[in-house]
Amino acid sequence: MTLKTWREYGSEWLDTLVVAISVAMAFRAYFFEPFNIPTGSMQPTLYGNHSERCEEAGVFQTTPLKWFNWLLTGRDYKEFKAPFSGNIVFHDGRNGRFDFAISSPTGAGLGGQVSLPTDALRSLDLGEAYAGRELWVRPTGDRRYAVLCVKGPNGEEPVRVPAGHVIWRGYDTTGDFIFVNRWAWNFRSPARGDVMVFSTTGITALDQGTHYIKRLTALPGETIEIKKPDVFIDGVKLDPIKPMAGARGESTPEPNPGGMHGPVTLKAGEYFACGDNSDNSSDSRYWGPVPEGNLKGVGSIVFWPIINPRWGVIK
Report the domain count for the chain: 2
Same domain, 66 and 165: yes
Asked if residue 65 has pLDDT above 90, the reply is no
Q: Sorting pLDDT into bands at 50, 70 and 90, what band is 251?
A: very low
Same domain, 39 and 187: yes
Q: Which of 26-35, 116-125, 161-170, 187-196 has the lowest mean pLDDT?
A: 26-35
How confident is the model at residue 4, as a pLDDT? Answer: 38
Instruction: Tell me if 94 is assigned to some domain.
Output: yes
Same domain, 93 and 164: yes
Please state, in angstroms and rounded to a whole number, the distance separating the CA atoms of residues 255 and 265.
17
At 67-98, the pLDDT tens digits run 888 999 999 999 999 999 999 998 888 888 99
Mean pLDDT of the region 163-189: 93
Mean pLDDT of the region 126-154: 81
How confident is the model at residue 252, as a pLDDT? Answer: 46
Mean pLDDT of the chain: 83
Query: Own/partner pairs for 249-256, CB < 8 Å, 24+ apart?
Result: 249/43, 249/44, 252/277, 252/278, 252/279, 253/228, 253/229, 253/278, 253/279, 254/228, 254/229, 254/230, 254/278, 255/217, 255/226, 255/228, 255/229, 255/231, 255/281, 255/285, 256/226, 256/228, 256/229
Mean pLDDT of the region 281-303: 94
Mean pLDDT of the region 201-217: 91
Asked if residue 2 has pLDDT above 50, the reply is no
How confident is the model at residue 217, as a pLDDT? Answer: 92
Instruction: Tell me if 5 is assigned to some domain.
Output: no
Same domain, 193 and 158: no
How confident is the model at residue 141, as a pLDDT? Answer: 67
Same domain, 123 and 219: no
Instruction: Tell me if 11 is assigned to some domain.
Output: no
User: Measured in Å, how far apart are the chain's first and last C-alpha atoms?
Assistant: 58
Asked if residue 186 has pLDDT above 80, the reply is yes
Instruction: Tell me if 13 is assigned to some domain.
Output: no
Q: Sorting pLDDT into bands at 50, 70 and 90, what band is 137?
A: confident
Q: Which of 116, 151, 173 delimits the end of a domain?
A: 173
Same domain, 180 and 79: no
How confident is the model at residue 17, as a pLDDT? Answer: 55
What backbone phi and psi angles, to 5 degrees, belong to 219?
A: -105, 165
Mean pLDDT of the region 267-281: 90
178 within 8 A of 65, measured Cβ to Cβ: no
Q: State which residues form the domain around 69.
A: 50-173
Same domain, 120 and 193: no
Instruction: Tell me if 19 is assigned to some domain.
Output: no
Burial of 213 (0-12, 13-18, 19+ CB in 10 A): buried
Mean pLDDT of the region 127-135: 84
Asked if residue 6 has pLDDT above 60, the reply is no
Residue of 6 and 290 predicted with greater confidence:
290
Instruction: Tell me if 1 is assigned to some domain.
Output: no
Q: Which of 173, 208, 236 delimits the end of a domain?
A: 173
Q: Which of 127, 146, 173 delimits the end of a domain?
A: 173
Please state, in angstroms and rounded to a whole number, the distance separating the CA atoms of residues 144 and 127.
25
**Other Cβ atoms within 10 Å of 69 Cβ, number:** 19
At 49-64, the pLDDT tens digits run 999 999 888 777 777 8
Percentage of the chain beyond pLDDT 70 is 82
Q: Give the CATH number, domain containing residue 267.
A: 2.10.109.10
- The whole model's pTM is what? 0.80
